[in-house]
Amino acid sequence: MLASVKNILEEAKKNGYAIGAFNVFNMEEAQAVVRAAVKKHTPVIIQITEKTMDYAGDKVIYDVVKSVIERESAAIPIGFHLDHGHNFDIIMRAIDAGLNSVMIDASDYPLRENMAVTKRVVDYAHGRNVAVQAELGKVPHLGEMDQNPDWDKIMTNPLEAKWLVEETGVDALAIAIGNAHDFFRERAEPDWKRLEEINKLIPGTYLVLHGASDWVNHKVAEAVKRGVTCFNIDTDLRVAFNTVLCQFTHDKCTIIDPRKVMAGAREAVQGVVEKKIDLFRNP
């Protein structure tokens, strides 16, 4: 069933486990995530980005995902969220399409500007009963900076996090503790003390860890212990999906029914999501 992201996170936080937030771009991936959640009897969050909205059409992708959720998950709560909205326009587009949870990622701006942009989004979104995630610090993407960022400079400052949360009233915060998107090399060890400090200063805010595709058991467990409630996964799903497509599209492939290819990719993604759910549910 389509459910509130905030309620899903609240339930997880209360019970000491974490939720997987999975990026999807089409029907097959949405089905893969929902089917994994139903099989594992565990709530998840499905998320889309601006690029996916541009690719599919705002309302088209919203309706496809919503329909998959409603038709395939009668009992398991599934949240639906905009990931990495970089400006006010995309936030409005997402809310107009129907989403009840959005991320404003103004982490490229200096603190005060980040706070101002985030506050504007929170005022707009909360007035419409939409939850908001912000980002403070930098979770680098591949190709955005050199391979060895100065982690101390880009990780979340706990006192600034407290200030941002108090000033903006944001519901969730994406934190930077040495984590990175894609296959970017992460900090050798996440900054656990920093995470503890952040959690202590903003205990009522849901902490989200982006770039979690390559996070393994012990790291997930340490993060959940210190307050992380949500892990974002995209790259692992893309790899699973594309690996199947590549196998089926080599020169000697005789399959010409694309549904066979897409069904294989959907199954592969479902397998990955099931493993992640196990990891986040019992860290």
Catalytic machinery residues: 83
| 52: contact with ligand G3H by CB under 6 A | yes
Judge whether 58 and 93 are in contact, CB under 8 Å.
yes
> Is residue 186 involved in binding ligand G3H (CB under 6 A)?
no
Task: State the Cα–Cα distance between residues 242 and 269, nearest whole angstrom.
Answer: 10
Residue with smaller CB distance to ligand G3H, 181 or 226: 181
**Considering the rule CB under 6 A, would residue 211 count as an interface residue with ligand 13P?**
yes
Which of ligand G3H, Zn ion, ligand 13P, none interacts with 107 (beta carbon under 5 to 8 A by kind)? Answer: none
Q: Tell me the H-state helices in the chain.
A: 5-15, 27-40, 50-56, 58-72, 88-97, 111-126, 151-154, 158-168, 192-201, 217-225, 235-248, 258-281
Question: Could you say which of 21, 23, 186, 274 contacts ligand G3H (CB under 6 A)?
Answer: 23
Q: Which is nearer to ligand G3H, 151 or 184 (CB)?
A: 184
Binding mask 232-261 for ligand G3H (x = CB under 6 A): --x---------------------------
Contact assessment for residue 16 and residue 225, using Cβ atoms and an 8 Å cutoff: no
Q: How far is the CB of 259 from Zn ion (least distance, A)?
A: 31
Contact string 192-211 vs Zn ion (x = CB under 5 A) = ------------------x-
Minimum CB distance to ligand 13P, residue 147 (Å): 15
Contacts by residues 190-196 (CB-CB < 8 Å, ≥ 24 positions apart): 190/219, 190/222, 190/223, 191/151, 191/155, 192/222, 192/226, 194/155, 194/156, 194/158, 195/223, 195/226, 195/227, 195/228, 196/226, 196/227
Cα separation, 23 vs 150, in Å, equals: 28
> Alpha-carbon distance 196 to 270, whole Å?
33
Give, to the nearest 10 degrees, the angle between helix 88-97 and helix 58-72.
Answer: 50
Site mask, ligand 13P, residues 145-184, x = CB under 6 A?
A: ------------------------------------xx--
- The answer to the question of residue 213 lying near ligand 13P (CB under 6 A) is yes
Measured between alpha carbons, how far is residue 119 from residues 3, 106, 114, 123 in Å? 24, 11, 8, 6
Of 210 and 266, nearer to ligand G3H (C-beta) is: 210
Residue 85 backbone dihedrals phi, psi, to 5 degrees: -75, 120
Closer to ligand G3H by CB, 48 or 69: give it.
48
What's the closest the beta carbon of residue 84 comes to ligand G3H, in angstroms?
5
CA distance 212 to 234: 8
Residues binding ligand G3H: number (CB under 6 A): 9
Residue corresponding to tokens 């955005």: 144
Binds ligand 13P by CB under 6 A, chosen from 132, 233, 261, 262:
233
Shortest CB 122 distance to ligand G3H, Å: 21
Q: Which of residues 56-95 bind ligand G3H (CB under 6 A)?
A: 83-84
Q: Which residues bind ligand G3H (CB under 6 A)?
A: 23, 49, 51-52, 83-84, 181, 210, 234
Q: Which residues bind ligand 13P (CB under 6 A)?
A: 23, 83-84, 181-182, 210-213, 232-236
